[in-house]
Chain A
Amino acid sequence: MWGFVKNAFIPRRDHTDCSGCSLCLPVCPVWRQTRDISLTPHGRAKAMQQGEAVSVVAVESCTLCGACDPVCPEQIDLSGMTLKLRRQTEHPHAPALQARMDEKAAHPLTSQHAAAKWLPDQALSEHPELLARITDLLGARVTEDDGADIALALEAGVIIPAHRMQRFLAPLKGVKRIIVADGLLLKHLKKLLPAMYFVSLGEALSNHADVSHNLRATDLYVIEPRAYHSDYQRLVKHYDRLRAKHGCAFNLDLQRIAIPITSRNLPQRMGLMAHDDDAQARWALHGRSISRIVVESSEDGMALEKISDVPVVHLAELADHGVHVQA
């Protein structure tokens, strides 16, 4: 009740409130790579303030890492603003995504009851051994419906049919604890089911004693940025406690914003354009003296393995004393 009353009096902020302070620029991976303001939240907000249509390139360029959201002093939901623009943009692959969601919705689910469930992301699904290890550690059942099509539709701004969403959410209702690997999906699930307890895979694993116990002072711990930025005020304290306890470094900049490793724009996410994560990964590692990299996201792990000469392990693998190098 109090939450409702409190939120009712918080004015909703949008692009009209952008004062042009540019604080969103230094944390934006797209700006870092292009130095082109028009491709950043600042540029999109300012274009809209002029009553202009934001170009498709500018709308699609965002990687939705969410780094801009916690640094905006006007508290504008900047990634939400970009998603809204995407919903207004006609996407050529919308029919294919819709068909994929329709197909999934038609597939019947078996009834699975569990106190805790978890939703792996696309990249984890490709590593069955790691998937099994995480399932074992979390003591949670993998959901039959991983919602990967929904995550992609959310990213592209494609409307999700009600019957598909219903089919996805129904098995989650009544579950006490739901762990989500995809940060964007996590953010939206929290909004869709506010009464339920959702937690990111990174937070869940890093709270596990067998895992955190094996963090070392010479580790670089790579936080998955989407989940982190969507719950920044709380999670910045969580990771600061980990730092204080174990002494490890994080992929955080001076503002304590997570530097994304895999920063992919919409065409790259849709597989329409080749992605190159090297520059971001190199920046995250630049000047650091570390003996091991620990990742929350296996996608980040793969990108870092390409350029790093120290072992890269998934957080879950730390429970095996952190010696197993990800394949």
Chain B
Amino acid sequence: MIHQESFLEFLHDMIPETSDRTSIEPGTVGPCHVGSDALIGIKRQQTNPTRWIGDSWQAFADVLRENGIELRESIAARGTFATDAGGTAYGMPHGVVIARSAAQVSALLKAAQQYRVPVTVRGGGLITEGESVAFGGVLLDMTGMSRVLHIDTDALTVRTEGGIFWHSLAEELRRANMDYLSAPLNMTSSVGGTLGVGGIDVNSPRLGCSADQALALQVVTPTGDIVECSDTLNAELFQRVILGYGQFGVITEATLKIRPYTPLRMHYFYYDSLRSAIEDLQMLDKNDASDYSGILTIMDCAVNLLVAFDSDEREAAFKANWQARLRGHGEFGFALCIAGRYALRPWKLGEAWFLFRRKRELFPELQRAEYMRDGKMVDRTVVFSRAVWKFWGGKQMVIPDLATSSEKFVEAVERGNKVCRKYFPHYTLYLVGIKLRPEHKAHYEMSCIPPDAEDWAYGCEFEPMIGGHVYSRDHLQSFKNAIYDIGVDLGGSYYRFGGMMKGYIRRVFGDEVVDRHLAMKRRADPAMILNRDVIF
């Protein structure tokens, strides 16, 4: 019988020094130390980062405790954060710290620099590629900092702590009859995490991504300085932290734009062609014809374009000027189309049954009476988020995505759709535009915003419905790679390019850009401790 410790020592000794346990240069993707030569002629790269071995952990832990920082080292505490929403990357931190204040985060990062201990920051943990999974070191749980500090209904701003869930922020804002501008349609995304990666809502075609709503931030830098930054104050830090994948600081507070709350009236148009639906979506966005727009598919022949409005006036203008130009059908008209389609293809009745079942289950969920008032949806994030988790959630989720300029978007989606078809029987595509802010061009470099996008960028998530099926990790990774290869081909970008997908970063952004950012990272974070291995 092998004892666990001696087995770990055995594993440690088995890893050749060349493929290296500790000396892989941060900023490079190392070879796979499990089987770097397993595929003849193809160099295998590691996907999960190497686990930090834990040198100097005890001295570091002692310093934290001397500073009054509670460090949890039990398996139960660490295991809570063993994976993220994707459920394919697993790792354990050596200890967990719940963030309580900027001063505490600062003390933690200073000690981490001194002892070279990696710190992985986690908000809602909803990312899927292992970016918020700690492979050793400290896991910093930012949800401990979830207070709303001040709502200014005159200036239309809110100051909040960075770990707060968008939903918790909405709960407080609604008591003041206010709302945030745009946030992911997932209630438990955190504000800080979202500002670091983007954040897309169905109103992003009009209002931009969540990251563009930030007016100012309080950031704890990797070396532990507490710095306020904005477009005018410490602008360079602001540029790097926004959409910076957590590489240049921990967002402890944020000032965000808000607006008066309005319920929204939804309209659904159904298409049997992705191309037509996308063209119509882009036409609406370009003409500012709606307040909200996006596409959600049940199948690639059952495509739902959703359009929504904050006011009766905007809705009336849409009906008068734009509705007739849409090529989509209403529900009844589309049902007739689908009936005709399957009457001519009786061998595809299984597909028709799937469509019918999906519609019967999903649609009532989007129109539950308790979330509607006078035909208007009162809580879009609650409605969509509950539906997302109910119908697409599970212990394993892969959601590769593509972001491109308007011009390349149809091709990207059609090619991605073919990949989905090859890998999974059922999947959903979620497509939405992002209005860009020219003055934020510097924020967008090496982010989810494609370098060639002007005015709008478009994103598509390709989400297989895994359900109770079991797929190997290789199958899921191959699927993601096939989607991401399209991004390289088209010169686009991705929303989820860190963690297990970081091998694509240099391919899609090029060495010059990545090396420049890596140099900045090294200057800001000399020991490379903050969210290491996530993108560099």
Contacts and interface: CB of A to CB of B under 8 A. Distances in A.
B79 A26 contact: no
A196 B141 CA distance: 47
Contact of A17 (B144, B171, B395): B395
A23 B188 CA distance: 7
Contacts of A229: none
A20 B125 contact: yes
Given A19-B87, A21-B188, A52 B370 contact: no
Contacts of B141: 37
A1 interface: no
A47 B168 contact: no
A38 B188 contact: no
Interface string B397-441: 000000000000000000000000000000000000000000000
Contact of A254 (B76, B144, B174, B389): B174
B366 to A, nearest CB: 15
Contacts of A49: 79, 82
Interface in A201-252: 236-237, 240
A232 to B, nearest CB: 10
Given A21-B393, A47-B79, A256 B125 contact: no
B149 interface: no
Interface string B140-152: 0101111000000
23 contacts: A19-B394, A20-B83, A21-B188, A21-B389, A22-B126, A25-B188, A26-B165, A35-B143, A36-B144, A37-B141, A37-B143, A47-B76, A52-B76, A54-B76, A55-B74, A73-B386, A73-B390, A236-B370, A237-B369, A240-B369, A254-B170, A254-B379, A254-B381
Contacts of B91: none
A36 B80 CA distance: 11
Interface in B127-178: 141, 143-146, 163, 165, 167-168, 170-172, 174-176
Contact of A26 (B75, B168, B386): B168
A36 B74 CA distance: 14
A47 B80 contact: yes
A255 interface: yes
Contacts of A58: 76
Contact of A35 (B77, B146, B369): B146
A55 B126 CA distance: 26
Given A26-B171, A237-B369, A19 B85 contact: yes
What is the interface of chain A mostly: helix, strand, loop, or mixed? loop
Nearest to B70: A36
Contacts of A117: none
B98 interface: yes
A78 to B, nearest CB: 14
Contact of B187 (A23, A42, A55, A240): A23
Given A35-B163, A50-B79, A287-B176, 4 more contacts: A19-B393, A35-B144, A42-B80, A254-B170
Interface string A260-286: 000000000000000000000000001
A254 B87 CA distance: 28
Interface string A18-45: 0111110110000000011110001100
A26 B146 CA distance: 11
Contacts of B490: none
B382 interface: yes
Contacts, number: 106
Nearest to A31: B143
Nearest to A44: B76
Interface of B: 72, 74-77, 79-80, 82-85, 87, 98, 124-126, 141, 143-146, 163, 165, 167-168, 170-172, 174-176, 187-188, 369-371, 379, 381-382, 385-386, 389-390, 393-395
B479 to A, nearest CB: 20
B370 A256 contact: yes
A46 interface: yes
Nearest to A25: B188
Nearest to A73: B389
A21 B394 CA distance: 9
Given A240-B370, A287-B176, A21 B165 contact: no
A71 B188 CA distance: 12
A189 to B, nearest CB: 26
A288 interface: yes
Interface string A46-78: 110110111100100000000000010110000
A37 B82 CA distance: 13
Given A35-B144, A36-B144, A288-B175, A43 B80 contact: yes
Nearest to B161: A35
Nearest to A241: B369
Nearest to B143: A35
7 shortest interchain CB distances as A-B pairs:
A287-B175, A50-B79, A47-B76, A73-B389, A22-B188, A52-B76, A46-B80
A53 B79 CA distance: 12
Contacts of B187: 23, 26, 255
A3 B149 CA distance: 50
Contacts of B87: 19-20
A43 B171 CA distance: 23
Nearest to B72: A38
A54 B77 CA distance: 10
B326 to A, nearest CB: 31
A205 to B, nearest CB: 21
A20 B128 CA distance: 12
Given A21-B389, A22-B188, A26-B171, A52 B144 contact: no
Contacts of A136: none
A46 B168 CA distance: 22
A237 B370 contact: yes
A20 B390 CA distance: 13
A258 to B, nearest CB: 13
B95 to A, nearest CB: 13
A144 interface: no
Nearest to B374: A244
A320 interface: no
A253 interface: yes
A260 B482 CA distance: 48
Contacts of A74: 393
A38 B382 contact: no
Given A19-B87, A22-B124, A73-B386, A254 B167 contact: yes
